[in-house]
Structure 1
Amino acid sequence: MDEIQQAQQGLDAARQRLADAVHDARAQGRTWSEIGEALGMSKQAAYKRFGKPVDPATGEQITARRTGDVGAITEEVFRCAASGDLDRLEGLMHPRTAEELPQEVVAETWHRVLTEVGALERCEGTRVETPDGTVVEDEEPLLGIAVGATTLVCEAGTLLGRVAVDQDLRVVGILIVPPDHGPLPF
């Protein structure tokens, strides 16, 4: 168990060193594009992970949140749709999203899923990403929208499921597409 604890401490220290290095680079005038390139990600992904925006109305720093719950919310969205628990699903949504994506539309969409690939058996490979597709490590801090991405394993095929989640962990978008779908909106 000591080795596990030491490895976790090393990982935490490495994450802090990286965050410090990014903040030092910004203080030296480096752009988010340069930082993103050094990290192998887009400038938006780098900013969402390491940025420190300030709310102009309050002057307070907007804090990043941990991403751990995004994967669980993603899987819950698809379990609710599959089981027909649309009231529970609506409760996970931002109120505006619930208006724009009423229960009837969700039910109709899931009906199409059933006719194409059958009943949902499980979610597989669930991960958290930025909207541009950059994978975020478990519990990494992230600003703004996070996307839960999962493979929907159904009885006769698979689909990709994506759930956009806002800073308050409310669902702001749901997407279900075939695995070979081209560019995604989020």
Structure 2
Amino acid sequence: MKEIQQAQQALGDAKANLKATVQRARRDGHTWAEIGTALNMTRQAAFKRFGEVTNPATGKIIKGALMSIEQITKLTERVFELISAGKYDELEPLIHPDVREELPASLIAETWARVLAEVGAKESLSDSHVALPAGERILEDTQLIGTVVGVTTINCEAGEVMGRVAVDDQLRIVGLLLVSPEHTPLPF
């Protein structure tokens, strides 16, 4: 058990070292594109994982809410469980107030009815994960900043549907999408 604890500590130390090294690279003038290339990810993925935003008026780092992949994945699955159960009254408080008019329960219910007509009732969810709005999957559980997308496969009686939930940094829904898994391009 001691070896497991030591390995866990080493992993934590390595993550802290990586974050500090990325922050040093930024201070030294390296771009997010260069950092992303070094990390084998896009510049946006590098920024979402390691970025800090400075308030130009105060010069202080903005401490936004940090989200984890686990939080976003759980929210995504909850959203589609509520939709498939017709519990739109429980879904509404999860939607950002500024987009509630664009995502009324009637539109969500109508869209879900079209899904039911095409592929039948939901049986399960699978492959839930988090992606950047451009589609790149975020693989490592880390604290994230800004808007990201929770993605899940909705397995139905006669097919599959991809469910996508755009989530802001307060874990509020700012976009909702139900499409065929092959559908491209995606708006988010």
| TM-score (norm. length: structure 2) | 0.91
From the superposition, tell whether residues 10 and 155 of structure 1 become closer, same or farther in structure 2 (CA, over 3 Å): farther
TM-superposed CA distance for 1:173, in Å, is 0.6
Aligned letter for 2:85?
A: S
TM-superposed CA distance for 1:3, in Å, is 4.0
Counterpart position of 2:56: 56
TM-superposed CA distance for 1:58, in Å, is 4.9
From the superposition, tell whether residues 100 and 19 of structure 1 become closer, same or farther in structure 2 (CA, over 3 Å): same
Q: How much is the aligned-residue C-alpha RMSD, in angstroms?
A: 1.7
Q: Are residue 35 (structure 1) and residue 35 (structure 2) matched?
A: yes
Aligned letter for 1:161?
A: G
The whole-number CA distance in structure 2 between the counterparts of 1:164 and 1:135 is: 13
User: Where do 5+ consecutive residues of structure 2 fail to align?
Assistant: none
Kept in 1: contact 2:35–2:46 (CA 8 A): yes
| Identity among equivalent pairs (%) | 50
TM-superposed CA distance for 1:137, in Å, is 4.2
Other structure's SS at 1:132 match: coil
Other structure's SS at 2:152 match: strand
From the superposition, tell whether residues 53 and 151 of structure 1 become closer, same or farther in structure 2 (CA, over 3 Å): same
* Length, aligned pairs only: 186
The whole-number CA distance in structure 2 between the counterparts of 1:162 and 1:12 is: 31
| TM-score (norm. length: structure 1) | 0.92
Deviates more, 1:15-24 or 1:84-93: 15-24
Other structure's SS at 1:77 match: helix
The 5-angstrom pairing of residues 16-165 of structure 1 reads: 16-63=16-63, 65-67=66-68, 68-137=70-139, 139-165=141-167
Other structure's SS at 1:66 match: coil
Cα-to-partner distance string for 1:30-78 (whole Å, 9 max, x where unaligned)? 1111111112222122112111111235543223513221111101110
Kept in 1: contact 2:149–2:164 (CA 8 A): yes
The whole-number CA distance in structure 2 between the counterparts of 1:142 and 1:63 is: 12
Other structure's SS at 1:180 match: coil
Aligned letter for 2:172?
A: R
User: Where do 5+ consecutive residues of structure 1 fail to align?
Assistant: none
The whole-number CA distance in structure 2 between the counterparts of 1:119 and 1:6 is: 47
From the superposition, tell whether residues 149 and 7 of structure 1 become closer, same or farther in structure 2 (CA, over 3 Å): farther
